Amino acid sequence: MATSPTLDTFAALVPSAYAASISASVSVAAVEDFYAITTGELDSHNDHVEIYLLEDASGHFLSDDGATYGSILESHVDPESPFNALVINAVLAQHYCYLAGSEIRIDVTPADIGASMTSLLAAMRALRQNNIF
């Protein structure tokens, strides 16, 4: 009779198994002068969330291309009212993100792109799905 794996066996597999699962759900495609990153995360319409890797004179950054801000506008919330702007900026700052026009952005380096993707997606999720308004 075969023995069951121990809890320690499962625990040892978690980092590599989880990383492989996340990696399998992400795709990157070159589009003109930027990259589109399709994530495994789903939005409220069950579409995969896309973010974008771009560069400008100040460096490299990830962007939601204004999708989250547009979602806030669609919910009939004025994101520019003093209170709402304060809440939006506080949520973004908590995730090291900022607004550039209507885009949520986070600056990236090769060393922190994974953590930056996680932060951007968390900020987008917090503003979209947690009914902060």
Query: Averaged over 69-98, what is the pLDDT?
Result: 90
47 vs 128, higher pLDDT: 47
The number of angstroms, rounded, from the C-alpha of 121 to the middle of its chain's C-alpha atoms is 2
Give every strand in the sheet of 48-56, ordered side by side. 27-31, 34-42, 48-56, 59-63, 103-108, 98-100
Q: What is the pLDDT of residue 132?
A: 59
Amino acid identity for residue 13 in this structure: L
Q: What span, in angstroms and rounded, lies between the C-alpha atoms of 133 and 123?
A: 14
**What element of type H or E holds 84?**
helix 82-94
Q: Residue 105 — very low, low, confident or very high, per pLDDT cuts 50/70/90?
A: very high
What's the DSSP call for residue 28? Answer: E
Would you state the pLDDT for residue 73? 85
Lowest mean pLDDT among 35-39, 74-78, 90-94, 127-131: 127-131
Using a pLDDT cut of 70, give the percent of the chain over it: 96
Q: Count CB neighbours of 102 within 10 A.
A: 15
* pLDDT band with cut points at 50, 70 and 90 for residue 1: low
State the residue for tokens 């499962």: 10
2 or 50: whose pLDDT is higher? 50
Better pLDDT: 133 or 118:
118
3-37, pLDDT tens digit by residue? 888 999 999 999 999 889 888 899 999 999 999 99
